[in-house]
Amino acid sequence: MSADQMTGGKMSITSNFIDAGGVRTHYWEAALHKVGAPVLILLHGGGAGADSWGNWQDCFAHFAPHFRVIAPDMIGFGKTDKPSPDSYVYDQPGRNRHLIDFLDAMGLSGVHIVGNSMGGATAIGVAIERPELFDRIVLMGSAGLPIPEKPSPQLMHNLQYDFTMDGMRRVIGGLTAPGFVPSDEMVKYRFDLVDDPASQAALAAINGETRKGTLNYPEDAVRTITHPVLVVNGKEDGVSILPRAYRFLELLPNSWGYIVPHCGHWAMIEATDDFCGAVNRFLKAA
């Protein structure tokens, strides 16, 4: 069901840029809400060809009737700047700083946030460093803890991406449950996003830092997050496996869990209605 059908209104989605700490940052904004509606930030994951549109395009219609929805491209991804790895370190602290700079540039605080995978790790880092920036947090297939200890075979498809169409199909296969068949349009969209030297250099640097484990936080730091948190995970997620979701639930004092059956790492794509319904119920309980 579209946002128009749900509300009788007209949803607009705009492409925008803002300077965030010197980084020209691209974001989508979906508008179909009352003035003063709570802000919802959607933060994509870090796989090859990832960006905010590819992650969240099917979710805008579900969230826009209730929230001011903003979906930025993280540094190194999509239409956001991709500084040379010779002068910029693509580690998790850098992504945390970029998100803080983005929220500050937008004049936002006390927002809701949904973070997928690397986006989840970024939400965790900002919640630890600047807790006043968030209200409620959704971690979906989130990175942030060293479980498993080594990259899974599914994650290795991304870390070893060879910049071919077949390689992109392998990346998508590792990120989704068995039986998921991506459209040719999806494969080409993600392939095109990393089919240039700057994007390829950024991805190589990001993957290098991922191998070092810089996405992870000490458990004692995660324990300090007192926001209400919904931990969502696909039951068949081979990248962020269920034991990691369960550990988040043990560490985060005000957390709920939602496990999606027949789903891999992309609940927002593989189970859009189920995922968005659970997120809306959680966020609207605020």
**Residue 265 annotated to the active site:** yes
- Is 92's pLDDT higher than 60? yes
| Between 286 and 59, residue with greater pLDDT | 59
Confidence band, pLDDT 50/70/90 cuts, at residue 9: low
Give mean pLDDT, residues 122-148: 96
pLDDT in tens, 146-191: 988 777 888 888 888 999 999 999 999 999 999 999 999 999 999 9
Q: Is 12 a catalytic residue?
A: no
pLDDT 10s digits, 233-274 = 999 999 999 999 999 999 999 999 999 999 999 999 999 999
Return d(Cα 280, Cα 40) in angstroms, integer: 10
What is the distance between the alpha carbons of residues 34 and 227, in angstroms, rounded to a whole number?
A: 25
Q: Is the pLDDT of residue 8 over 50?
A: no
Determine which of 39-53, 153-167, 187-201 has the lowest per-residue pLDDT on average: 153-167
Q: Of the residues 52, 98, 117, 240, which is catalytic?
A: 117
Residue 286 has pLDDT above 80, yes or no: no
Q: Is the pLDDT assigned to residue 17 strictly greater than 60?
A: yes
Q: Phi and psi of 140, rounded to 5°?
A: -120, 115
14: β partners: 29
Nearest partner of 131 among 123, 140, 142, 139, judged by Cα:
123
Q: Is 157 a catalytic residue?
A: no
The pTM (predicted TM-score) of the whole model is 0.94
278 vs 286: CA distance, rounded Å: 13
Q: Please, what is the Cα angle at 205 between 23 and 133, to 5 degrees?
A: 45
DSSP the chain: --HHHHHSS--EEEEEEEEETTEEEEEEEEE-S-TTPPEEEEE---STT--HHHHHTTTHHHHTTTSEEEEEPPTTSTTS----TTT---SHHHHHHHHHHHHHHHT--SEEEEEETHHHHHHHHHHHH-GGGEEEEEEES---S--SSS--HHHHHHHT--SSHHHHHHHHHHHS-TT----HHHHHHHHHHT-SHHHHHHHHHHHHHHHHTTT---HHHHHT--S-EEEEEETT-SSS-HHHHHHHHHH-TTEEEEEETT--S-HHHHTHHHHHHHHHHHHHT-
Going from the N-terminus, what domains does the chain have, and what CATH number goes with each?
3-284 (3.40.50.1820)
Catalytic residue (one of 66, 81, 237, 240): 237
Predicted pLDDT of residue 251: 98
Whole-number average pLDDT of the chain: 94
Q: Around 206, how many Cα atoms within 13 Å sit in the side-chain half-sphere? A: 26
User: Confidence class of residue 36 from pLDDT cuts 50, 70 and 90?
Assistant: confident
pLDDT given for residue 11 in this prediction: 86
